[in-house]
Structure 1
Amino acid sequence: MLTLQRRQLVGHDILLARHGNHICSMRLDRSTGRVIALLDDGSVDSAPNLISPDLQLPETIQSVLRNDWKFLATVSGCVAGLAGVMIAAAFSLAGLSADPALAELMTTYQAY
């Protein structure tokens, strides 16, 4: 089931347990899967972000977009193309009509 909640970073907890209030800032290094902390004295410490590499974490909005961006872009393009075809068809039908009242009705339908 898709929960779309923020993932808890295990590395943050590990670094907080090690150093407590001596941490100035923390950042996530996605390429190595580690959380890196800058300490008061200028030193740097890091901790792994996962308990187990095969642990299945809940999905987030960012992870869904990162994994499925090609599919979402394709669907969005198809919907935009279909909408363009429908608008073009409505204007062409309005132009083919011999009755000017029908043409005016079809072109101003969005106003209602």
Structure 2
Amino acid sequence: MKTLQRRQLVGHDILLARHGNHICSMRVDRSNGRVVALLDDGTVDSAPNVIAPGLELPATVGSVMREDWKILTACGAVAAGMGALMVTAAVALGTMADPTAVEMLSAYAIY
């Protein structure tokens, strides 16, 4: 079962193993798939952020939203439409129906 967890950045570990305490700051270059580190002597080093190119990483909330935003939007719109339809029907039934029909519908046991 896949869990929605934060992906571990392999580049951080590689750079820490290479340079240790000589790293001033690190940033993630998502467009190139690398982690870039600024060292205390002013030089810059980078490391790839993947273990293997074909490795399937676990899904995160962000990756699911990026991949499935169309279906999630469609399901949300359908649910909102059905909710609005049900509220409209309930209001119309309460205001336009005669009292005996409302009493019959509310007293009827659904099994």
TM category, shorter? 0.7 to 0.9
How far has the Cα of 1:41 moved from its partner? 2.5
Identity of aligned residues (%): 62
Counterpart check, 1:39 vs 2:33: no
Q: Normalized against structure 2, the TM-score is what? A: 0.81
SS at match of 2:26: strand
Please identify runs of 4+ aligned residues in structure 1 that moved more than 2 A. none
Q: Which residue of 2 aligns with 1:65?
A: 65
Q: Which runs of 5+ in 2 are unaligned?
A: 107-111
Q: Which runs of 5+ in 1 are unaligned?
A: 107-112
Q: Which residue of 2 aligns with 1:94?
A: 94
How far has the Cα of 1:42 moved from its partner? 2.6
How far has the Cα of 1:98 moved from its partner? 2.7
SS at match of 2:24: strand
Q: Which residue of 1 aligns with 2:19?
A: 19
Aligned equivalents of 2:8, 2:93: Cα separation in 1: 56
The size of the alignment, in residue pairs, is 103
Q: Normalized against structure 1, the TM-score is what? A: 0.80
Please report the RMSD computed on the Cα atoms of aligned residues, expressed in angstroms.
2.0
Aligned equivalents of 1:96, 1:31: Cα separation in 2: 60
Aligned equivalents of 1:42, 1:6: Cα separation in 2: 30
Aligned equivalents of 1:89, 1:45: Cα separation in 2: 64
Aligned equivalents of 2:39, 2:85: Cα separation in 1: 59
